[in-house]
Amino acid sequence: MQKLTVKGRLSYPALDTKVRMKLPDGSSVEHYGCDIVFPKADTKQINAVEACLKTAVTEIFPNVSPDALLSAVRSKSESRGVLRDGDAKIASSHKPENYTQTYTDSVYISAKNKYVQPLLVDRQAQPVSDPREVFYPGCWVIAKLNIGAYELDPYKTKGFSCTLTGVQFFKHDERWGASPKSDTSEFKDYGEEQDSDTSVSNFASAEVDSDALPWN
């Protein structure tokens, strides 16, 4: 088992509670997890991930070419690789607009933990009690991963495991998938509350043009 540290932006975080994932055979499994997304231009990190994968192959399969196994895994399915192409994810999706903002010109690692909740810490390396107050889609994190190579019987199918063991908040960035919200400039200052302010009729349909209503 090889330990790997990566830095990227957080996507689809399931850090406080497990999510259920449906498997091809119809069964399902629950897990903690997230995607770690970083630019394709970050060749330093990409090379580090590739080196870690090759070491994991050599550790378990000393007589197998690491390059050959990596190539074989990727050729069979993009989803079986540890380091995945964000643009390929967009292109293969039935709703590419859901992924364009997050995965364009990027690579990502989808890491999971089926057994225990990953250790979650803030920028000062202090444990986080409420993950939703710290982590959100789009923030930058440092993720700790365990990378391993495996072979499944009876077909001798080889692949890689990627277990999420810890996540540290690193810095803020634009939140992905956030719903639009009003600005303070859109509201008026009504001063202190008065006992006589009991009517709300003046506010009803305030921005609707009555002439445009279909029943008029």
pLDDT in tens, 11-53: 999 999 999 988 777 888 899 999 999 999 999 999 999 999 9
What local confidence, expressed as pLDDT, does residue 24 receive? 74
Pairing relation of β-strands 119-121 and 157-171? parallel
Residues, the chain, total? 216
For the chain, give every domain's residue range: 2-171
Residue 6's H or E segment, with its range, is strand 2-22
CATH superfamily of 2-171: Nucleic acid-binding proteins (2.40.50.140)
What local confidence, expressed as pLDDT, does residue 122 receive? 97
Other beta carbons less than 10 A from residue 58's beta carbon: 16
CA-based nearest residue to 120, from 128, 108, 110: 128
Mean pLDDT by 10 residues, the chain (216 residues): 96 94 83 97 96 93 90 75 92 91 95 96 96 96 95 78 97 82 72 62 49 45
Give residue for tokens 């995607």: 35
3-class secondary-structure state, position 52: helix
CA-based nearest residue to 79, from 66, 92, 69, 98: 92
